[in-house]
Amino acid sequence: MSADRHYSPADRILLQADAALRTLLPFSGHPARPSPAIVQPDVELNEDDSRHVAGLMRINHTGEVCAQALYQGQALTAKLPQVRKSMEAAADEEVDHLAWCEQRIRELGSRPSLLNPLFYGLSFGVGAAAGLISDRISLGFVAATEDQVCKHLDQHLAELPAEDQKSRAILEQMRVDEEQHASSALDAGGVRFPAPIKFGMTLLSKVMTKTTYRI
């Protein structure tokens, strides 16, 4: 989405619809960076490990779907132009993660979650609402969300089979990027959410992880 043009509300709605389709349709995202997995050796996993890793990568893929929706919703309602640009740039960077996870899921003989459209819609609504409240709340929500993502990634890295270096390379790079997104959001003026709100976000994230691991 170009930062130099002025879009009407109708234009922005159409652009958001296009972003939603590119997020949800298989292999629609075009990563700017090659997957970190391509330099790692191909190792055949046993059936149980392959199924487990596919479930973990499906969770991470859905997390990236949610991130796309969150950023797009916030960009739609952000009040300051620089915040809108920041949200759009972050969404572009998350496309890499989305594509990497989907590619790895397919390599493992599985598919992304069937619940992705539902989680996209919910996340878009939350992002848009946060942007309507204030840009500082919106940025704070990004930071808190990325903190949750980093915790999931740490857990998944600990659960990966030692021989699966392809999935590990992807998750390690994702963690570096997500931590940077959280820091950037706080540096831009985001509010640090109190513990009770973060606890509520943790409970909601558990619903997502439990359902998308299998569905």
DSSP conformation class of 160: S
Q: Is 97 annotated as a binding residue?
A: yes
DSSP conformation class of 18: H
- Which value, in Å, is the radius of gyration of the alpha carbons in the chain? 17
Q: Cα–Cα distance between 172 and 26 in angstroms, integer?
A: 23
Q: Is 146 annotated as a binding residue?
A: yes
Sorted by sequence, the CB contacts under 8 Å of residue 41 that are 6+ apart come out as 165, 166
Q: Is 64 annotated as a binding residue?
A: yes
Q: Is 159 annotated as a binding residue?
A: no
Q: Is 181 annotated as a binding residue?
A: yes
Q: Is 163 annotated as a binding residue?
A: no
Sorted by sequence, the CB contacts under 8 Å of residue 11 that are 6+ apart come out as none
Q: Which amino acid is at 110?
A: S
Residue with tokens 């920041």: 86
Question: Which residue ranges make up the annotated binding site for Fe cation?
Answer: 64, 94, 97, 146, 178, 181
Question: Which residue ranges make up the annotated binding site?
Answer: 64, 94, 97, 146, 178, 181
